[in-house]
Amino acid sequence: MTALLPRRGLAQILALIVILAVDRVVSPQFFDLRLQDGRLFGSLIDVLDRGTPVALLSLGMVLVIATRGIDLSVGAVMAICGAIAASLADSYSLPVVLAAALGAGLVCGLWNGFLVAVLGMQPIVATLILMVAGRGIAQLITEGRIVTFTSPDLVWLGNGAILGVPVPVVIALGMLILTGAVVRGSALGLLIEATGGNARASELAGVGTRAMILAVYVWCGVCAALAGVIAAADIMGADANNAGLWLELDAILAVVIGGTSLFGGRFSLVLAVLGALIIQTMNTGILLSGYPPEFNLLVKAVVVLAVLLLQSPKLSGFAGIMARLRRANP
Amino acid sequence: MENSLDPAPSLLEVRGISKSFAAVRALQEVDFTLRAGEIHALLGENGAGKSTLIKVITGVFPRDAGLVRLGGEEVAPRSAKAALEAGIATVYQEVNLLPNLSVAQNLFLDRQPMRFGIVREGEMRRRAKVLLADFGLDIDVAAPLGNYSVAIQHVTAIARAVDLSARVLILDEPTASLDRHEVEILFGIMRQLAKRGIGIVFVSHFLDQVYEISDRITVLRNGRLVGERETASLPRLELIRMMLGRELAETTGARTATSDRLPREVCASFQNYGKAGYVAPFNLELRHGEVVGLAGLLGSGRTETARLVFGAERADGGQAMVAGASIRLQSPRDGVRHGFGYCPEERKTDGIVAELTVRENIVLALQAKRGLHRPLSRREQDEIAKRYVKMLDIRPPDPERPVGLLSGGNQQKALLARWLATSPRLLVLDEPTRGIDVGAHAEIIRLIRELCDDGLALLVISSELDEIVTYSDRVIVLRDRTHVEELSGEAIDVTNILGAIAADGAAMQEARA
């Protein structure tokens, strides 16, 4: 696996380097870092900090997609859990707030997993239900207002720093390590890849495919909950209408950029997070360039296309043929 | 035939058709002749090449060699639509119509009567009614097709095909989901169409029906033509021999060495085990160091028995026992927990996980058995994979290759390895030698014997009777989803098995009437 990783991740790493280089041209201070009040500041830190929600979402999403599923509800789950955290923040201690928010995410994941694994619904339809209903639930929790809070503990979660590194970044890194340890440290990774690769065959080999599918949706819900709490902590409030809006699409994009096929099977956690960073590096670069944000969407589309083309086996086959032709006719 | 001066003209002539998929030769120089006004049964076991032949004739697959003549003129349709336009219509078992559209719309799809660019619904319905009346159907043609039974959907599909001026009508397993009464209606329509001069190809694995309806029979086996006969002069036993029997290999009877050992310990037993509409309740005892063969025609309940025994299907009655104690057997997981293993017939869809490596495919069942919290370390996985790659001679000997890139025989070995790694007590093999080249074929048979000598209990399904005879200690014969006969010892030979399979269909028909 370790020997394979660089080759598998080459397209993504190259893309990130190119985008970073372009950002450097657009904004000469891009790589500058400075320490202020015990926290690092700079565009690079910004990329990591802003990229945290999508990175967290992509951690859950990559597992769901590996089982040949998809979870459209993560944006709505962010809104629900952000709303819960914001509503409770000023009356309860941080552990209680976190437990409530993450618990809600877990329940959302269970619901999705139940629909897909037990009732056998198509994942895209099953999670669409919560995608739509979730925002309504979040609005009910906030009673249609933007709920603000002042609890320093929760604010610290979004804006504090540990050894100079923003807390959200530390959390995302921690979750990456935790997920990696659970998935690759146990047999979960292999069994998820087998389930996504061929569910019928895996079932006949004795794999508990339903349990696998249930587990990945639950984890996806928990990751979304954490992303929702961080997003709320960041702005010191919960906006049920806009929190996590369309982020499910960025998360799916991050997973796809990370080379995991929507047809399930092989997945890479690290590359999915790298995909999230690629997206955020682009976003930040365009903001810094002073171009109108509308460009963001177009540029994003072009870069995504480029990364996917780099991964395409057909294209590399084509490149191989071209190289052979060139050798034959110097 | 009545007119000796004008022997029934050949309507469809297929000559020397060959077709390969990658390295697998699905058809080799197959000839097929259909006369106008006859009902011609096309028979063969799974993988014999019936479907491929139909798809080549109708242009779904391009052919590698050979020619097709329709009414004396060479035709080479490039698609099912082109074949239809040439006059060759096919109705598949899964009706290819649109259940959400009305019967009339289905009948006139793509050719609705129009006026000023608007579909004339009334005219269409009137014509649909007239058309179906020809087939003895009087139904509301404005209702969605999906509201009607499969039989009516079939008749609709046939009516559509015939109305498109079909001269050749190919019916692929049309009776598989029909009840007896519906079959009668369909046969009535087939006879009527034949009288009109349409040539009908009838693909079915119900031999009673074949004898009832067909004029002639063509049998394929392993992609080759075995023969073409008049139905009336072909005894049932002979037909089954044509379908199943290969020339008997000289290995026959070599398996007596282990048969006269002391009575063997029972590994698993099933009492009154069955499932309604799936397989009739059966009693089955599987012993260590013994191979039990399951023989029967396609659809006789062989695979169904295997799936029940492994736990892939839930029984609705009876008892499964291991080591004298009753066990719960509700899922493959239960089967695996009790030390059962199952290599399914459909390797690609039910067996391998194509994109995972040989190593991962081999350790999959063992890992599933051990559970999530006891992962096999990479080193253990490597050792297991290496051991079985060597033991079963899996080629290429690279455990890190995606298993989907291996040949069929090597994929089969990887699946065997998957189960052997779990140290099973019982292994169920469904058609372990299907689609495998000759060399690997012999190796798999050798392996089955070795495993048996090591004390494993084996339940093996095969359409190759000489193969079953070679390795089985007992043979259970199935017919119509029922275990009808058990042969053991000296009684195991191809003739006896064929006899049990054929078991005088005439007598059975009498009993039924």
Q: What is the DSSP string of A114-137?
A: IIIIIS---HHHHHHHHHHHHHHH
Beta carbons of B268 and B342 less than 8 angstroms apart: no
**Pairing mode of beta strands B279-287, B290-296:** unpaired
CB pairs under 8 A between A and B: 81
Q: Measured between alpha carbons, how far apart are the two ends of chain A, in Å?
A: 38
Q: What is the pLDDT of residues B297-320, one digit of tens each?
A: 877 899 999 999 999 999 999 999
Hey, CA dihedral for B412, B418, B423, B426, is it positive or negative?
Answer: negative
* Residue B255 to residue B252: CA distance in whole angstroms: 8
Crossing angle, helix A43-66 and helix A247-257, to 10 degrees?
A: 80
Distances (CA, A) of A149 to A226, A236, B475: 17, 6, 77
* Residue B65 to residue A188: CA distance in whole angstroms: 49
Q: Which residue has the higher pLDDT, A323 or B219?
A: B219
Beta carbons of B91 and B154 less than 8 angstroms apart: yes
Q: Is B405 on the interface with A (CB under 8 A)?
A: no
| Residues near A241 by beta carbon (within 8 Å), at least 6 away in sequence | A79, A135, A139
Q: Which residues of B touch A206 (CB under 8 A)?
A: 332-333, 335-337, 365, 368-369
* Residue B513 to residue B503: CA distance in whole angstroms: 17
**Pairing mode of beta strands B216-221, B224-230:** antiparallel
Residues of chain B with pLDDT > 70, as a percent, come to: 92
Beta carbons of B190 and B29 less than 8 angstroms apart: no
Distances (CA, A) of A302 to A282, B286, B333, B416: 11, 63, 47, 47
Query: Residue B424: is its pLDDT beyond 70?
Result: yes
Distance from the A103 Cα atom to the nearest Cα atom in chain B, whole angstroms: 23
Q: Is A194 on the interface with B (CB under 8 A)?
A: yes
Q: Is B376 on the interface with A (CB under 8 A)?
A: yes
Beta carbons of A64 and A71 less than 8 angstroms apart: yes
Looking at the DSSP assignment, which residues form a beta bridge with residue A63? none
Residue B55 dihedral angles phi and psi, to the nearest 5°:
-70, -30
Q: Which residue has the higher pLDDT, A216 or B186?
A: A216
Q: Which residues of B touch A180 (CB under 8 A)?
A: none
Inter-chain CB proximity A205 and B332 less than 8 Å: yes
Facing residue for A204 by CB, picked from B342, B363, B370: B342
Lowest-pLDDT range of A124-138, B2-16, B230-244: B2-16
Q: Which residues of B touch A265 (CB under 8 A)?
A: 353, 355-356
Query: Residue B506: is its pLDDT beyond 50?
Result: no
Query: Residue A181: is its pLDDT beyond 60?
Result: yes
Q: Which residues of B touch A193 (CB under 8 A)?
A: 353, 356, 360
Across A287-308, average pLDDT: 80
Domains parsed from chain B with CATH numbers: 2-244 (3.40.50.300), 249-339+424-512 (3.40.50.300), 354-422 (no CATH)
Residues of chain B with pLDDT > 90, as a percent, come to: 43
Average pLDDT value over all residues in chain B: 86
Q: Which residue has the higher pLDDT, A51 or B117?
A: A51
Q: Which residues of A touch B342 (CB under 8 A)?
A: 204
Looking at the DSSP assignment, which residues form a beta bridge with residue B40? B201, B216
Split at pLDDT 50, 70, 90, the class of B504 is low
The chain B residue lying nearest A206, using CA atoms, is: B333
pLDDT of A327: 56
- If phi > 0 it is left, if psi is from -120 to 50 it is alpha, else beta; for residue B206 that is beta
Q: What is the DSSP string of A229-256?
A: HHHHHHHTEE-TTTTTTTHHHHHHHHHH
Split at pLDDT 50, 70, 90, the class of B450 is confident
Beta carbons of B97 and B136 less than 8 angstroms apart: no
Pick the residue of A2, A190, A212 with the most B CBs within 10 A to test the interface with B by mutation: A190
Q: Is B337 on the interface with A (CB under 8 A)?
A: yes
Pick the residue of A204, A219, A260 with the most B CBs within 10 A to test the interface with B by mutation: A204
Q: Which residues of A touch B333 (CB under 8 A)?
A: 206-208
Q: Is B340 on the interface with A (CB under 8 A)?
A: no
Q: Fill in the amino acid letter for A55.
A: A
Distance from the B213 Cα atom to the nearest Cα atom in chain A, whole angstroms: 38
Across A96-120, average pLDDT: 97
Q: DSSP 3-state assignment of B99?
A: coil
Q: Is B430 on the interface with A (CB under 8 A)?
A: no
Q: Measured between alpha carbons, how far apart are the two ends of chain B, in Å?
A: 31
Beta carbons of B68 and B76 less than 8 angstroms apart: yes
Inter-chain CB proximity B368 and A205 less than 8 Å: yes
* Residue B284 to residue B270: CA distance in whole angstroms: 5
* Residue A73 to residue A61: CA distance in whole angstroms: 10
Beta carbons of B333 and A208 less than 8 angstroms apart: yes
Inter-chain CB proximity B349 and A203 less than 8 Å: no
Could you tell me where the DSSP H helices lie in B35-170? Answer: 50-57, 80-86, 103-107, 121-133, 150-163
Beta carbons of A50 and A283 less than 8 angstroms apart: yes
Split at pLDDT 50, 70, 90, the class of B24 is confident
pLDDT of B3: 42
Q: Is B380 on the interface with A (CB under 8 A)?
A: no
Structure tokens at A100: 């409530």
Query: Residue A4: is its pLDDT beyond 50?
Result: no
Across A167-191, average pLDDT: 96
Split at pLDDT 50, 70, 90, the class of B249 is very low
Q: Which residues of B touch A185 (CB under 8 A)?
A: 375
Across B337-358, average pLDDT: 93
Q: Fill in the amino acid letter for B484.
A: V
Looking at the DSSP assignment, which residues form a beta bridge with residue B340? B426
Pick the residue of B343, B348, B353, B380 with the most A CBs within 10 A to test the interface with A by mutation: B353
Query: Residue B107: is its pLDDT beyond 80?
Result: yes
Q: Is B411 on the interface with A (CB under 8 A)?
A: no
ipTM > 0.90, yes or no: no
Facing residue for A186 by CB, picked from B365, B368, B372: B372
Of B404, B2, B474, nearest to B215 (Cα)? B2
Inter-chain CB proximity B333 and A206 less than 8 Å: yes
pLDDT of B358: 96
The chain B residue lying nearest A190, using CA atoms, is: B360
In what order do the strands lie in the sheet containing B199-203? B88-91, B168-172, B199-203, B39-43, B216-221, B224-230
Inter-chain CB proximity A190 and B363 less than 8 Å: yes
Q: Cα B237 to the chain's mean position, in Å? A: 20
Q: Which residues of A touch B332 (CB under 8 A)?
A: 203-206
* Residue A217 to residue A62: CA distance in whole angstroms: 10
Average pLDDT value over all residues in chain A: 90
Q: Which residues of A touch B337 (CB under 8 A)?
A: 206
Pick the residue of B329, B342, B355, B362 with the most A CBs within 10 A to test the interface with A by mutation: B355
Q: Which residue has the higher pLDDT, A283 or B249?
A: A283
Q: What is the pTM of this model?
A: 0.76
| Residues near A181 by beta carbon (within 8 Å), at least 6 away in sequence | none
Q: Is B377 on the interface with A (CB under 8 A)?
A: no
Q: What is the DSSP string of B408-439?
A: HHHHHHHHHHHHHTT--SEEEEESTTTT--HH
* Residue B55 to residue B95: CA distance in whole angstroms: 16
Query: Residue B434: is its pLDDT beyond 80?
Result: no
Of B286, B279, B318, nearest to B302 (Cα)? B279
Q: What is the DSSP string of B121-147?
A: HHHHHHHHHHHHHTTT----TTSBGGG
* Residue B186 to residue B192: CA distance in whole angstroms: 10
Q: What is the pLDDT of residues B151-181, one digit of tens each?
A: 888 888 888 888 887 899 999 888 877 777 8
Of B7, B497, B477, nearest to B240 (Cα)? B497
Q: Cα A203 to the chain's mean position, in Å? A: 29
| Residues near A211 by beta carbon (within 8 Å), at least 6 away in sequence | A117
* Residue B511 to residue B456: CA distance in whole angstroms: 41
Q: Which residues of A touch B356 (CB under 8 A)?
A: 190, 193-194, 197, 265-266
Structure tokens at A261: 């096929």
Q: Which residues of B touch A186 (CB under 8 A)?
A: 372-373, 375
Facing residue for A198 by CB, picked from B336, B354, B367: B354
Q: DSSP 3-state assignment of B457?
A: strand
Structure tokens at A124: 């895209």
Q: Is A197 on the interface with B (CB under 8 A)?
A: yes
**Pairing mode of beta strands B39-43, B10-21:** unpaired
Q: Fill in the amino acid letter for B396.
A: P
Q: DSSP 3-state assignment of A210?
A: helix
Hey, CA dihedral for B454, B459, B464, B465, is it positive or negative?
Answer: positive
Residue B441 dihedral angles phi and psi, to the nearest 5°:
-55, -55
Split at pLDDT 50, 70, 90, the class of A322 is low
